[in-house]
Chain A
Amino acid sequence: MPTVRLDAVVKRYPNGTEALNGLSFEVEPGEFVYLSGPSGAGKTTLIKLLLRMETASDGDILVFGKNLRALRKSSIPYLRRNVGVIFQDFRLLHDRTVYDNVAVGLYILGLSRREVRQRVEGVLYDLGIDRYAGAYPPMLSGGEQQRVAVGRALAMQPALILADEPTGNLDWELSSDIVRLFESLNERGATVLMATHDRFLIEAYPKRTLLLNKGFLIEDQRLPGEEIEDQ
């Protein structure tokens, strides 16, 4: 069963914009896929559809085998708990500490305080931001905030990670760090779908790439074998 499956998906916004035009593809469990294309191609729209922030105008979207069209409203939170999402603008809670930002999803899951502490400390350590546990996001650099956002998704141990331009305004060094981090999550079993239009990043860390343009799937670039970079 593919983790993500789109079948002739159309997304028409209320103002008439056709953001997606009959998109069909599948992402298998454990894959790392780039979602690329110029501005306005429909990358963010696709991520919103997968998170059920928006609904498709036509066609079917299956996540973990569940058709999102048939998903009851009350079941949406349970879908989202298995999907870690990282937004380009981080979407951190500015009046909560880094620790709390990473812990917040775990409270939603109803973990015990001890489990929360174990997971959060582990994640902060893995991301190299454990010394900022008590700091507030606005005090951190862009790269550090990005890591907090990744940590929040990571702590929930999602089976699917959706990242919308997670390297959008980071320098090369930080962008590479983020991609390598996703690679290591991917190695531990997570399926990753990362929207980016950074060609250099894709070239440096080549993976299957879905190229969108004006809502159409232009190209599904598969690698002959998943090459893991030695960098």
Chain B
Amino acid sequence: MNEQEQPARDPDRPEAPASQPASPPSGLAIVRRAIHLLSEGVRGLLISPGQVLACVASLAVATCLVTLFGSFGSTAVDMLERAGHRARVIIYLKERVSSEQVSELLKEIGKRPDVEFANYLSAEEDRARNAALLPPDLASSLPPATIPGQHCIEAGFGDSTERIPDVVGLTSFLRDLEEVEVVAEPPVGAARIRAASAAVRFGRLALSVLAALLVVSTLFFVVGTLTRTMERRREEMSILRLIGATDAFLKTPLYIQGILQGAAGVLIGASLGRFAISAANTWLATELAVAISLPTGEDMLVPFSLLAGAVIGTLGAFIATSRRLP
């Protein structure tokens, strides 16, 4: 080789050999890389298994609580809404009020924003309604004439969750009407309906704040484990960078780790919550003989968990990797 003036050169090896594309790679290479990165993500879970377990457990607890609160909350909202819907005021009219005056009155009452409906009941209809309120055996034993009946207007409130029904305002408005004899308030009382509907609204707000806090705190855990993985692999990542790893190559295992952790935590938590709810349902039915069935959301369990876990994992990984990737 002494005769060579020029250093050895291989015509098949230009500056950039064909095996190393100077531009982003083909689809197949991306798939292969994806498989490799998936296994790297799983590997990340094993770097600090204790912390990963703690993260999954906290996520599970948070999800379980959110599931329970969600189920109880929506049942409570449901019940109060129904109570709110049932709240109505009965306006007993003076005997002499004519049907023209009644339709005038109906129009006037119907104009009020918190009134959803207003119906006229004849004296006979009112009697039948009152009879229906009595225990069946008592009602049948009484002579019909002893059950009171007076023509009246029944006014119902609108959706109590949207607006606190102004029962007091409505009542005083009605009392001032000339044709009105008596205004009967709803049995539960105006103040309580107002309190209940406020409670519903507050409960909903509190539950969503709580759920948000739980999500934020579990996100903190996810970011913590991923940061830990990054710290443990700092040296490794900087070496990979020097031999041509892209940001995506370094970040993807972290995203995969976050998503796996998130999905596992949410799935476990939601399953626990569902189990607790069905246990509660059984208890309500057998011990308390209450016909309330809390929703378990069984059909949504797996897709919801995977989606929620993926969202939490992705967010966690985004926060962790954007803070400082080695």
Contact = CB atoms under 8 A, between A and B. Distances in A.
Pairing of A with B: yes
Interface of A: 1, 3, 28-32, 51, 53, 64-65, 74, 77-82, 84-85, 91-93, 104-105, 107-113, 152-153, 156-160, 186-190, 225-228
B107 interface: no
8 contacts: A30-B7, A84-B243, A105-B244, A108-B246, A156-B243, A158-B20, A159-B15, A189-B8
Contacts of A112: 32
Contacts of A92: 239
Contacts of B8: 30, 186-189
A160 B13 CA distance: 11
B172 to A, nearest CB: 72
* Candidate in A30, A51, A79 with the most chain B CB atoms within 10 angstroms: A30
Contact of B15 (A3, A81, A227): A3
Nearest to A111: B32
A189 B19 contact: no
Nearest to B5: A225
Contacts of A85: 242-243
Contacts of A188: 8, 10, 13
Interface string B158-195: 00000000000000000000000000000000000000
Tell me the dominant secondary structure on chain B's binding face: loop
Contacts of A105: 243-244
Contact of B7 (A31, A77, A84, A159): A31
Contact of B29 (A32, A109, A152): A109
Contact of A110 (B4, B16, B30, B236): B30
Contacts of B1: 187, 228
Interface in B182-240: 235-236, 239-240
Nearest to A48: B242
Contact of A30 (B9, B235, B244): B9
Interface residues of B, number: 41
Given A112-B32, A228-B2, A64 B9 contact: no
Residue of B6, B15, B22, B249 ringed by the most chain A CB atoms within 10 A: B15
Given A186-B7, A225-B4, A225-B5, 15 more contacts: A74-B247, A78-B23, A104-B243, A105-B243, A109-B19, A113-B32, A152-B243, A156-B243, A158-B20, A160-B15, A186-B8, A190-B13, A226-B6, A226-B7, A228-B4
Given A104-B240, A109-B29, A64 B7 contact: no
B140 to A, nearest CB: 85
- Most chain B CB within a 10 A radius of its CB, from A77, A79, A82, A226: A77
B14 interface: yes
Contacts of B82: none
A110 B29 contact: yes
B17 interface: yes
Given A93-B236, A225-B2, A157 B242 contact: no
Nearest to A230: B2
B36 interface: yes
A80 B244 contact: yes
B9 A81 contact: no
- Which of B10, B19, B243 lies at the interface centre, i.e. has the most chain A CB atoms within 10 A of its CB? B243
A79 B16 CA distance: 9
B272 to A, nearest CB: 35
A14 B97 CA distance: 96
A227 B15 CA distance: 23
B33 interface: yes
Contacts of B14: 29, 159
B25 interface: yes
A227 B3 CA distance: 9
B204 to A, nearest CB: 46
Interface string B16-52: 1101111111101110110010000000000000000
